Amino acid sequence: MYKEIEKGICAPEGFVCGSTYAGIKSKKNEKPDMAIVYSLRPSSCASLFTTNKFCAAPVLLDREINAKGKARALVINSGNANAATGQQGLSDAREMVSLTAKSLKLEEDEVMVCSTGVIGQYLPMEKIRNGIETISKDLSADYYDDAAWAIMTTDTVRKQCAYELQLSGGKVKIGAMGKGSGMIHPNMATMLVFITCDAKVEASLLQGMLKEAVDETFNMLTVDGDTSTNDSLIMLANGASNVEISSKEDLEALSSLIKHICLEMTKKIARDGEGASHSLIVKAQGLASLNDARLVARSIAGSTLFKCALFGKDANWGRIMAAAGYSGADIDPSRADCFLESEAGKIQVMKEGFGLAFDEEKAKEILSQEEIIVTVDFHSGEYKANAYGCDMTYDYVKINGDYRS
Amino acid sequence: MYKEIEKGICAPEGFVCGSTYAGIKSKKNEKPDMAIVYSLRPSSCASLFTTNKFCAAPVLLDREINAKGKARALVINSGNANAATGQQGLSDAREMVSLTAKSLKLEEDEVMVCSTGVIGQYLPMEKIRNGIETISKDLSADYYDDAAWAIMTTDTVRKQCAYELQLSGGKVKIGAMGKGSGMIHPNMATMLVFITCDAKVEASLLQGMLKEAVDETFNMLTVDGDTSTNDSLIMLANGASNVEISSKEDLEALSSLIKHICLEMTKKIARDGEGASHSLIVKAQGLASLNDARLVARSIAGSTLFKCALFGKDANWGRIMAAAGYSGADIDPSRADCFLESEAGKIQVMKEGFGLAFDEEKAKEILSQEEIIVTVDFHSGEYKANAYGCDMTYDYVKINGDYRS
């Protein structure tokens, strides 16, 4: 039993934040580019990071800090990913942690750091230093909107949500903010997502719940097939509600809400995919294993050709089935059904492996809506999985043709 | 020792071909859409086909015929892939084979069939029947140019080549034609490629040489990450030169020329990638295994983000290294060097895992050329591999946003 509330990452008790335009982004465009999130009391933490071997300096550092399970502050910059920056990058990331810890009177292993933006350039440390000083002087539970803005790169909208959950011992709150728009592909999506929570939860328990949620959400999200160097999902739980997880039911309720929040952020990122005009949910059903279902769903959501067809509102379902065919999953084409669906209705375009005559006008109407659902059913088992994505547009190419300038 | 000659697939002795506009493509655009290639004498054959589980009806049929190793005619249509067409599709493909065999007075297991174009529509068999009748009445060794045209879909140029090779017993000739532009990704590339040869070679020997060549060429080619339902590479060797492969040197010479021809066709397809303004060669070097080298090269050539940067002539090498990082290869980022190269020169953009200051103007000049070479060297072993691709442009999205209409 949970309900949506306001205030994003500051919805849970005992969290404040702040942000500023430090000048890291080359052009001032009204967006702040640095943020700090701070728990007023000690907090447990759990995190998941990119699997990219060229991972960024902050990811290397955060992995160490997360292992101790007790971070209570995050310092984040956008505009520069601090990736492929060698020893200098690591030392810059360490300085961000150390300055933030000093400003907030914390230990250095209580601060995590995230960067997002251009790869391969050193951080402008003088600007960063000033930024940390400015922000840490003015933190408040009212600044969540600006913080959600400060972490954006090519994102066009802020991505945040918050919920209140009734547990057996009382109410707890969870909030989240995230960014991600391009270089989005499992594992994980290219993104930064931060979740705050005022329940009392052990770090190890938190880590388990987070991992389970990510496998069904962010790891099923693809915008462009490129796995980023900086993907980070960090959750802090500070216990400020004084509510403990005291039963199996509580644990399940909390775990289920974390999943819900991850799914909501996943959909927000898919909807805001670079240049996207449609968001896409692919439902793969009737597979003989979970792995097969995930392979099929992700392969279809990631097909460049189908993404282009979606942009053109063209019901080219052959590309959907081709993508299922090369997914690596064990499938029987002769049992495949395929449906296209949106607010405008639902039509079946394939039955038992070959095409049905369908109303092209109706199909165009369905594909003209914002959110499109593709369902493929192989009638070969009980497993299913959803993947999330968007279409491929002129604007994606434009945005990424000249990102650095 | 080989030299380039004229006449494409009709360069080898004893091969003729023909083509016509049968009306399969919805709009008449001066291109023929059906072709037949015919060996005047019995011929051995070798073939490789798509790994896509939703493979097209002709692929299912050709696999059977290829197993016998003795095909001597090919009937090909463009405009309709005869894929995802169920039992009707299989029976249509069989009819194409049977009509062609009858017209040419061959056995049915001596004819192979290929289709390329839209997925999920039945072949217009009345048009196909007329097409086969028309073409088989007028076959000639002079019609190779039109045949190369007849197999094109979104291709903008004909793709063919031919060579003469000196073996110990005399001269042999090999010719090739191919098509492929979108839905191009290993294994194999989306494409049809046909190779003719007048050497006397056993089918099993031919199959081995072809497989080896494909692993280094077509399987290292990616235009858009989508593996097609129809990929077929078919080679016929009719022995019309009366030259046998009589030594290890002959075998190596022939094998090496087949590789060369596959590479040439690979590069032609990459250059003509849908909407492409640049062709791309990625050289991965210094890896600890061949598999790692291939993973790295293909991952970079396939990165949507880097392909967009290439379109924008933006030296965004961070995306190159990010793609290496998520390739799945066992790499050490801290040893990575990266170079950008073209006719306009060569610059190093990364050394030992982090970015070098480089002349942005020079980089832009290099990336303004037609063919771009990206080299990454991990200094961790002796293995290397090349991958082939192109950039991602507005035109790719446009071409694929409304392909079926």
**CATH code at position B51:** 3.60.70.12
Could you give the number of structural domains in chain A?
Answer: 2
Other CB atoms within 10 A of residue B277 CB: 17
Burial class (CB in 10 A: 0-12, 13-18, 19+), A67: exposed
% residues pLDDT > 70 (chain A): 94
Among A54, A309, A405, beta carbon nearest to B322: A54
Residues 6+ apart with CB under 8 A from B169: B243, B244, B246, B250
Q: Rounded mean pLDDT of chain B?
A: 88
- Dump strand ranges (E) for A249-304: 279-287
Whether the pLDDT of residue A286 is over 90: the answer is yes
Q: Assess whether pLDDT exceeds 80 at residue B404.
A: no
B120 touches chain A (CB under 8 A): yes
Instruction: Pick from A54, A183, A330, A335 the residue to mutate for testing the B interface (most B CBs within 10 Å).
Output: A54
pLDDT in tens, A110-120: 999 999 988 88
A120 and B302: CB-CB below 8 Å?
no
Residue A4 has pLDDT above 50, yes or no: yes
B153 touching A, CB under 8 A?
no
In a mutagenesis test of the B interface, which of A228, A317, A331, A400 is the best target, namely the one with the most B β-carbons within 10 Å? A400
**pLDDT for the residue B363:** 93
Q: What is the pLDDT of residues B361-388, one digit of tens each?
A: 999 999 999 999 999 999 999 999 998 8
Helices marked H in B26-143: 57-68, 86-104, 125-136
Q: Which of A271, A297, A320 corresponds to the end of one domain? A: A271
**More confidently predicted of A215 and A14:** A14
Q: Decide if B53 touches A, using CB distance below 8 A.
A: yes
Which residue is it, tokens 């590789």? Answer: B259
- Among chain B residues, the shortest Cα distance to A355 is held by B120
Chain B residue with CA closest to A118: the answer is B318
A25 and A50, same structural domain? yes
Average pLDDT over residues B123-138: 97
User: Which of A50, A85, A154, A190 is labelled catalytic?
Assistant: A190
For residue A387, give the nearest of A257, A224, A216, A262 by alpha carbon. A216
Among A388-397, B7-16, B113-122, B130-139, where is mean pLDDT lowest? Answer: A388-397
Asked whether the beta carbons of B337 and B348 are under 8 A apart, the reply is yes
- Check whether residue B374 and residue B241 sit in a common domain: no
The two three-digit tokens of residue A93, written as one number? 């990331």
Token couple for A115: 């960067």
The parent domain of residue A322 ranges over 279-401
Q: Assess whether A266 carries a catalytic annotation.
A: no
Test B86 with A354 for CB contact under 8 angstroms: yes
Instruction: Supply the pLDDT for residue A190.
Output: 58
| Domain match, A294 and A257 both | no
Q: Residue B378: which CATH number?
A: 3.10.20.340
Statement: residue A95 has pLDDT above 60: yes
In angstroms, the CA B15 to CA B147 distance is 12
Is there a contact between A311 and B401 if contact means CB atoms under 8 Å apart? yes
Tokens (6 digits) for A27? 């052009």
pLDDT at A185: 52
For residue A30, give both structure tokens: 């009204």
Q: Is the pTM of this model over 0.80?
A: no
Q: Is B190 on the interface with A (CB under 8 A)?
A: no
State what percent of residues in chain A have pLDDT above 90.
53
Give the residue from B246, B271, B296 where a domain finishes.
B271
On the question of pLDDT at A189 being above 80, the answer is no
Contact residues, B window 378-397, toward A, CB-based 8 Å cutoff: 392-394, 396-397
Residues A298 and A175 in one domain: no
| C-alpha span between B327 and A51 (Å, rounded) | 10
What's the rounded Cα separation, in Å, for the pair A77 and A237?
A: 22
Cβ distance of B326 and A51 shorter than 8 Å: yes
A5: amino acid identity, one letter: I
User: From the list A121, A304, A355, which residue is nearest B84 (CB)?
Assistant: A355
Of A271, A295, A317, which marks where a domain is finished?
A271
pLDDT at A51 over 50: yes
Of the listed ranges B208-212, B387-391, B396-400, the least confidently predicted one is B396-400
Q: Which amino acid is at A230?
A: N
ipTM of the predicted assembly exceeds 0.85: no
Tell me if B155 sits within 8 A of B81, measured CB to CB. Answer: no
Q: What pLDDT was estimated at residue A234? A: 87
Does residue B20 have a pLDDT over 80?
Answer: yes
Task: Return mean pLDDT, chain A.
Answer: 88
| Interchain contact, B119 vs A316, CB within 8 Å | yes
Min distance B398 CA to chain A CA atoms (Å): 8
- pLDDT tens digits, residue range A320-329? 988 898 888 9
Which whole-number Å values give the CA distances from A106 to A34, A39, A66, in the listed order? 19, 11, 15
Shared domain for A261 and A289, answered yes or no, is no
Asked if pLDDT for residue A188 goes beyond 60, the answer is no
Interface test mutation site (partner A, options B49, B51, B52, B53, max chain A beta carbons within 10 A): B53
| Statement to judge: residues A251 and A302 lie in one domain | no
Alpha-carbon gap, residue A80 to B72, rounded angstroms: 60
Do A148 and A49 fall into the same domain?
Answer: yes
Residue A54 per-residue DSSP state: S
Residues B239 and B303 in one domain: no
pLDDT at B107 over 60: yes
pLDDT tens-digit map of B53-99: 788 899 999 999 999 999 999 999 998 989 888 889 999 999 999 99
CA distance A195 to A10: 10
**Residues B247, B161: one domain?**
yes
| Shared-domain flag, residues A148 and A221 | yes
Cβ contact B401–A333 (<8 Å): no
**Same domain, residue pair B264 and B375:** no
Active-site residue identified among B190, B222, B266, B393: B190
Average pLDDT over residues A235-261: 90
pLDDT(B188) > 70: no
Q: Are B140 and B52 within one domain? A: yes
